[in-house]
Structure 1
Amino acid sequence: MHILLTGGTGLIGRSLCKRWLADGHRLSVLSRRPDTVAERCGPAVHGVGSLQALGDDPVDAVVNLAGAPIADRPWTGHRRKLLWASRVSLTEQLLAWLGERSQRPSVLISGSAVGWYGDGGQRELTEASGPVSEDFASQLCIAWEETAERAAELGLRVVLVRTGLVLSGEGGMLARMAFPFRLGLGGRLGTGRQWMPWVHIDDQIALIDFLLNREGASGPYNACSPHPVRNREFVQRLGKALRRPALVPLPESLLRLALGEMAGLLLGGQKALPQRLLEAGFVFRHSDLQAALDNVFSHH
């Protein structure tokens, strides 16, 4: 099938391209730098600088993963606008393009995050749970999902993938977390009691492919391991995988001083469970955190 990806040059997008090229699919990636797409995603991947550049070429599925990294820098007014535009505004553009097409894809898989729930405290969160608290990250995810859901009015099956912390050795949040550990400065964040939903990159790619090919799949899915852990356990496991101590805690006051509201991403959490994926029959290959981290760092 012909699959269009936004955000295809990102961490998840690159891995999806590798998987789907091997499966024989035809891939187009929307990018601000289409000339770099083949190098970053694979020589057979077609880069386009605009949706209109696809012309009348039939598209069978759209995977919408575009979005500036949310935890790269503090949420200044300018940064908030960029985060909103790169997710919500781009999805609105995608909807307008879909509405103009005579031939439409059958499915839209749109990115989201477990941050949709807000800080869930100690309660278990399944897809049947509503938002628990509202912060900027939650508001952003809610608006992103609500925009994507409008594609159903155009006849598309809409799947929303609420992703946790992706474990990959090729970048992303885990790489930023690992840096202080490599210097011997790793440790828990705040009290360390906050829950951390996580997913190995291999499972993330497999579950997106699973949802793409499962015709009855629609609505939100928590893309995270069945076994979330608290931050204090996560950092101990991470230190063990890196053979480094995890003895230097970062106090909440220091995080809030340095990061402002964005500190809530690190000090809050979600005990999110992938109930709908498990009910649909998806099997996670990596459900033990230590084994998953060891797997990631043994390859990098």
Structure 2
Amino acid sequence: MKAAIAGGTGFIGKALTNELVKNGYDVYILTRNIDNKKETDSIHYVQWLAAGAAPEKQLQGVSVFINLTGESLNSGRWTDERKKRILDSRISSTREIIRIMNALPDKSSALINASAIGIYPNSDTDTFTEKSRAVGNDFLTHTVNAWEKEAVQADKAGIRTVLARFGIILGKEDGALPRMAMPYRLFAGGKIGSGRQWMSWIHVKDAARALRFAAENGMLEGPLNVTAPNPVRMNDFGKTLAKVLGRPHWLFVPAPALKAGLGEMSTLILDGQRVLPETLLQSGFQFEFPLVRGALDDLYNGRGIIKRD
């Protein structure tokens, strides 16, 4: 089976590539720069979004496209210029993938397009599933809405389309977790803001497995919450992280201080949603790391799965 990944050299892209190759896929990674990329029998690099690039010529027989591209949300303050880049990078890449899929002589079976649980409103009390119709009214919601509207153009062309709404992906070397762990490593970790904000998370291995599950399950389409089944309050997450790292959980960081330092981007830390992966669970997906203690212990101590918090 052939799969094409846009964003295959990024954090989740690398984990997904490993997951697919391990399960017998030939993976074609779409990248702007193919120089110094080492190919294998199963991993191939295809240039796109560059002058003269015609990636469709190298993607014959690809059955599923997985789009993970987009400028990082947490790499700097959300100035007006950065907001534009965050949105435009997602829209342009999704539009190009659909163009490529439509240009292929044999129509691909599926598009799995990255999205985010930021489409749901921030709430300390409500729970959201794929059936929830409530949406937020901030920059994240606007971005996700526009992104998903672009992706469903593939569905209108008869291509099964999955909108993979990611929570916070936990990985030891990349993503949000290293930044969250740093204060604890410096003995300065503790409650952030109210501490009651929900954190809907998923281990990077389960995120990659969920994407492969979506690629292979022809009944899945539309929104798909890619989160673990047991979200936690931010303060509880911090306490668990402190235990795993063998550090104290004691320093309080007030919300105004974060807002002053990060600006609007502070919403990624101070706000949250309790999101459940109802569709994955009902479809029979089995999480390797359903609880946050097991996920963190696997990442930092290699102790495997722990079935309790």
TM-score by length of 1: 0.94
Structure 2 equivalent of residue 52 of structure 1:
54
Query: 1:104 matched to which residue of 2?
Result: 107
Alignment correspondent of 2:228? 225
Residue 19 of structure 1 pairs with residue 19 of structure 2: yes
Contact 1:31 1:37 in 2 (8 A): no
Q: Note the 1:1-300 alignment, pairs <5 A.
A: 1-38=1-38, 44-50=42-48, 52-55=54-57, 57-299=60-302
What is the aligned length? 298
Report SS of the residue matched to 1:38: coil
- 1:35 Cα deviation after fit: 2.5
Q: CA deviation at 1:98?
A: 2.4
Amino acid at match of 2:190: G
Partners of 1:46 and 1:54 in 2: CA distance: 14
2:21 partner amino acid: L
Aligned residue in 1 for 2:306: none
Take 2:26 and 2:296, find their aligned partners in 1: how far apart are those partners?
Answer: 32
Q: Is the 8 A contact 1:195 1:228 kept in 2?
A: yes
1:176 Cα offset (Å): 1.1
How far residue 127 of structure 1 moved from its aligned partner, in angstroms, is 0.7
CA contact (8 A) 1:3 1:26 kept: yes
Deviation, structure 1 residue 10? 1.0
Q: For 2:179 and 2:37, how far apart are their aligned partners in 1? A: 24
Query: Could you say what secondary structure the match of 1:176 adopts?
Result: helix
Cα distance change, pair 36–256 in 1 and its aligned pair in 2 (3 A): farther
Over residues 263-294 of structure 1, what are the superposed CA-to-partner deviations in whole Å (9 max), with x where a residue is unaligned? 11111101001111111111111112112111
User: In 2, Cα distance between the equivalents of 1:105 and 1:37?
Assistant: 26
Distance 1:161 1:36, change over 3 A: farther
Verify the 8 A CA contact 1:161 1:221 in the aligned structure 2.
yes
CA distance in 1, matches of 2:15, 2:111: 18
Question: Which ranges of structure 1 fall in alignment gaps of 5 or more residues?
Answer: none
**Structure-2 separation of matches of 1:299 and 1:30:** 32
RMSD: 1.7
Distance 1:43 1:32 in 2: 21
Whole-angstrom distance in 2 between the partners of 1:30 and 1:58: 15
Structure 2: distance between partners of 1:230 and 1:88: 32
Instruction: State the identity %.
Output: 36
Deviations 1:67-96 (A, max 9, x none): 121112111122112111221121112222
* Residues 126 and 37 (structure 1), Cα distance of their counterparts in 2 relative to 1, 3 Å cut: farther
Shift of 1:36: 4.5
CA contact (8 A) 1:187 1:248 kept: yes
Question: How far, CA to CA, are the matches of 2:290 and 2:46 in structure 1?
Answer: 37
- Between Structure 1 and Structure 2, which shows a larger proportion of helix residues? 1
Q: After TM superposition, give the deviation of residue 25 of structure 1 in Å.
A: 1.1
The two structures have a TM-score, normalised by structure 2, of 0.92
Query: How far apart, in 2, do the equivalents of 1:184 and 1:94 lie?
Result: 45
**DSSP 3-state at the match of 2:209:** helix
Deviation digits for residues 20-64 of structure 1, max 9, x if unmatched?
11222111111122225438xx67421122161340622211000
Q: Distance in 2 between matches of 1:285 and 1:19?
A: 14
